[in-house]
Amino acid sequence: MYQTNPPQSAKATLPTMYDLPSENPEEPGLPDEFHLLQPELLRLTFRPPTYSADQIFSASDLNLYYDSNHVQWYKRPDWFGVLGVSRLYNEQDLRLSYVTWQEGVTPLVAVELLSPGTEAEDLGRTLRDASKPPNKWTVYEQILRIPYYIVFNRYTNELQPFGLMMTRYHPLPIEGQGVWLEDAELGLGLWEGEYQGINRLWLRWYNRDQQWMLTPAEQESQRAERLAAQLRALGVEPEA
């Protein structure tokens, strides 16, 4: 039988998780656990108050096609949100990708979660070969003109928000809990708490009252707590 657990004496000299590469050099940025959980929390708490749920679309690690002159070119944002477009493609199908020249609406906000292999691309520090697609920064800023671009480094817990002003991205000030997106009537900030059993700083949406937007599970838990309190006030002990 293949031995997966080496003797304790050998563990001291073997490389750890921190020593081994976490990315494929040919495909940097492939999802690790954080890249799965963080976009999920963004999706669950992205509920702009003036839009109905069926007019909000968000996705993570989904092909975003942006150039009708180069129809095979795409980017895969770690997360992006679009307002005023049907949640379903043609009102009926889950999307396989997001094709901007068909949808007619570009994202309001894109979020990138920095990793060592994608940092230069995400921050626009790579030089372009004219025969290859432009980097993410250039696509978001100059082609799609996405109004808000948010970059988060989970290793340093640094949040870098950028806003499109005229034709260029400029750093946005972090005020209070984070950065306010007026078009969505939501703010995005760093929340310290437990999500899916992991306690750390997470990117999370908040409302105009500076209250963190609740996930559906948290909403249900709050409703249960309120009901239990009402029952106790009536002298009834709720069932466990």
96-126: pLDDT as tens digits: 999 999 999 999 999 999 987 778 788 878 7
Residue 209 vs residues 54, 76, 185, 222: alpha-carbon distances, Å: 24, 32, 11, 18
Rounded mean pLDDT of 61-85? 93
Query: CA–CA separation, 5 vs 169, rounded Å?
Result: 49
Q: Which of 98-112, 127-141, 184-198 has the lowest mean pLDDT?
A: 127-141
When pLDDT is cut at 50, 70 and 90, the band that residue 131 belongs to is: confident
User: Is the model's pLDDT at 4 over the cut of 60?
Assistant: no
Query: In the prediction, which pLDDT does 2 show?
Result: 44
Residue with tokens 């690690």: 61
Confidence of residue 32 (pLDDT cuts 50, 70, 90): confident
8-206 classified as CATH 3.90.1570: yes
Q: Where is average pLDDT lowest: 11-15, 51-55, 128-132, 214-218?
A: 11-15
User: pTM score, two decimals?
Assistant: 0.82
Distance (Å, whole) CA 47 – CA 2 = 49
Spatial separation of the C-alpha atoms in residues 216 and 118, rounded to whole Å? 32
Name the residue ranges covered by the structural domains of the chain: 8-206, 210-240
